[in-house]
Amino acid sequence: MKSYETDVVVVAAGLSGLAASISAAENGARVITVEKSNTTGGAANMGMGPLGVGSRIQRMQMVSLTPGEAFRKHMYFTHYRVDARIVRDYYFKSGETIDWLEEMGVEFVGVQRAFGAPEDTRAYSDGEFTWHVVRPEDGGIPGPRAATAMTKKMTERAKELGVEFMFETPAKKILMEDGKAAGVIAVDKDGEEVEIKANSVIIATGGFGENPEMIKEQTGYEFGKTIFNFAVPGMRGDGLKMCWEVGAGREQPTMELMYQLPDNMNHFILDGAFRQPCLWVNRNGQRFMPEDQIGNTTFTGNAISVQPGKVAYAIFDSKLLKKYKKRGPDLVSHVHPHDLFDHFDEQWNRDIADGYEPVTQADTLEELAEKAGIDVEGFMAQIEEYNDMCEAGFDEIFEKDRHYMQAIEKPPFYCCRQNVGAYGTLGGVRINNKMQVLNEDSKVIPSLYCVGTDACNIFGDSYPFILSGNTMGFCINSGRIAGENAAAELDDFEW
């Protein structure tokens, strides 16, 4: 077995692991970071950017939200069912963390909210300008994977500080000595065990989005049936299991719910095109929410999750499609391409020809419902009611914004099944505001830290999309806080 000795061992070089490695090294610690894959960045390479409150960029854009206001908003959203100290420390650090990223060369195009909400629903659903969108490496329009530019800069910074990366070396076990974390056992790419002894251990393995058995066991969802989450390779729950094995307290993990099409990255135009306030029904043919809220992917994911079969159907007719093509979508997504409808026909025709199951086209509404698997009778009754309300210009059932009350009447008709989706999993390991792991009795397990999604227990039952960029925000800030605290332990440590 190969043996190493260091001050801080960080398990994983995803977003939170990179932040932890950099901050521990900046504060004087020798750091070894073991990573399962052959690269850094983890799921963050797929995203667009982190939350920050009180950053230089926000001040430049005259965004006046303060960390204290964000803290309150977060706590109202979660009904105070999460640890206020952790939430407080996270928000109060988050603005300066964006400045810290800029100092290492990360560029942001600006600050954005995930979506806006109509005036009458603002209190809970309107987004704040907290999402710091990373400027993509090619300098083009930001979209999925823009944040790769950030993880690359962070990797460069870590290397510059002397962080030693060991790739294709997954950690298997946390070493404990006298009740204190003392290192990890990992396995290198040749299958050889590696022992890394350290004064402290930081776990940052990104949850269990790629582990269907664990998803079923921990959350009840069935991958590919009741949930179609991003399953980023390598996220198998290793960090949770390692922490629980050494006595970490358990928090209930959740899925970071939203909604999406199966294999959505390969059907991205349709994924975006149907995120419109057109007509949305459940399997019984009934509307189930005011469609003007469809832009809030968390609320819509939640709403779909309580429908029969956990599915919904978004429907428009050729008149609406013509309008979207001419004037652009009613709701603009910041994630999907802005010229979605220029490419609609191409992707639609290809997906129909390929038999991509979620999409259906028909010349009559009965046939559409039949083909899509919606109860025909229920759907036809709903259509009659909905079209009458469109004609009257008022939604008596949900009071959907009247601008979007557009009848479904002109063939052909287009339907796209919508499923519960998720970015990944959230939480599981109990921590305090120093990111120290706590046991079942909420006592500190010395020198053991857990950060990022493995320890993100602060969202309660729903991702707070109102403060967007929150998952990356928590990952970077929890990593930073853990790195600082792990380095500070060295002051009274002797080998």
Ligand X SMILES: Cc1cc2nc3c(=O)[nH]c(=O)nc-3n(C[C@H](O)[C@H](O)[C@H](O)COP(=O)(O)OP(=O)(O)OC[C@H]3O[C@@H](n4cnc5c(N)ncnc54)[C@H](O)[C@@H]3O)c2cc1C
Q: Which stretches of the chain bind ligand X, using CB under 6 A?
A: 11-17, 34-37, 42-44, 46-50, 144, 170-171, 204-206, 230, 232, 234-235, 238, 423-424, 452-453, 469-473, 475
Two structure tokens written together for 197: 């002894």
Distances (CA, A) of 85 to 36, 250, 269, 452: 32, 18, 41, 16
Residue (424 or 483) nearer to ligand X, CB? 424
Query: Which single residue is written with the structure tokens 């990223």?
Result: 101
Handedness of CA 344, 347, 350, 352 (dihedral sign): negative
413-426/228-229 β-pairing: parallel
Tally the C-alpha atoms within 13 A of residue 271's C-alpha that lie toward its C-beta: 21
Residue (101 or 389) nearer to ligand X, CB? 101
Q: Report the candidate in 182, 210, 233 with the shortest Cα–Cα distance to residue 36.
A: 233
Residue (127 or 290) nearer to ligand X, CB? 127
- Enumerate the H helices of 255-313 as residue ranges: 268-273, 297-305
* Residue, CB closest to ligand X: 14
Shortest distance, position 8 Cβ to ligand X, whole Å: 15
Cβ neighbours for 77, distance < 8 A, ≥ 6 positions apart: 124, 460, 462, 464, 466, 467
Residue (230 or 313) nearer to ligand X, CB? 230
Shortest distance, position 172 Cβ to ligand X, whole Å: 7
Shortest distance, position 257 Cβ to ligand X, whole Å: 13
Shortest distance, position 356 Cβ to ligand X, whole Å: 20
The answer to whether 46 and 482 have CB atoms below 8 angstroms apart is no
Residue (63 or 204) nearer to ligand X, CB? 204
Residues paired with residue 184 on neighbouring β-strands, in sequence order: 174, 196
The answer to whether 468 and 97 have CB atoms below 8 angstroms apart is no
Shortest distance, position 386 Cβ to ligand X, whole Å: 33
2-11/193-203 β-pairing: parallel
Q: CA 379, CA 374: separation in Å to the nearest integer? A: 7
Two structure tokens written together for 284: 């019984």
3-class DSSP assignment, residue 337: coil
The answer to whether 284 and 375 have CB atoms below 8 angstroms apart is yes
Residue (404 or 449) nearer to ligand X, CB? 449
Residue (44 or 438) nearer to ligand X, CB? 44
Shortest distance, position 470 Cβ to ligand X, whole Å: 6
Residue (48 or 438) nearer to ligand X, CB? 48
Shortest distance, position 196 Cβ to ligand X, whole Å: 11
Q: CA 39, CA 12: separation in Å to the nearest integer? A: 10
Two structure tokens written together for 421: 């989706």
Shortest distance, position 394 Cβ to ligand X, whole Å: 37
Shortest distance, position 471 Cβ to ligand X, whole Å: 3
The answer to whether 466 and 124 have CB atoms below 8 angstroms apart is yes
Phi and psi angles of residue 196, each rounded to the nearest 5 degrees, phi first: -120, 110
Distances (CA, A) of 160 to 29, 126, 234, 477: 13, 41, 26, 20
Residue (47 or 329) nearer to ligand X, CB? 47
E strand or H helix that includes residue 487: helix 470-489
Residue (194 or 416) nearer to ligand X, CB? 194
Shortest distance, position 97 Cβ to ligand X, whole Å: 12
Phi and psi angles of residue 398, each rounded to the nearest 5 degrees, phi first: -115, 0
Shortest distance, position 389 Cβ to ligand X, whole Å: 36
Shortest distance, position 130 Cβ to ligand X, whole Å: 10
Cβ neighbours for 264, distance < 8 A, ≥ 6 positions apart: 228, 271, 421
Residue (88 or 236) nearer to ligand X, CB? 236
Residue (268 or 386) nearer to ligand X, CB? 268
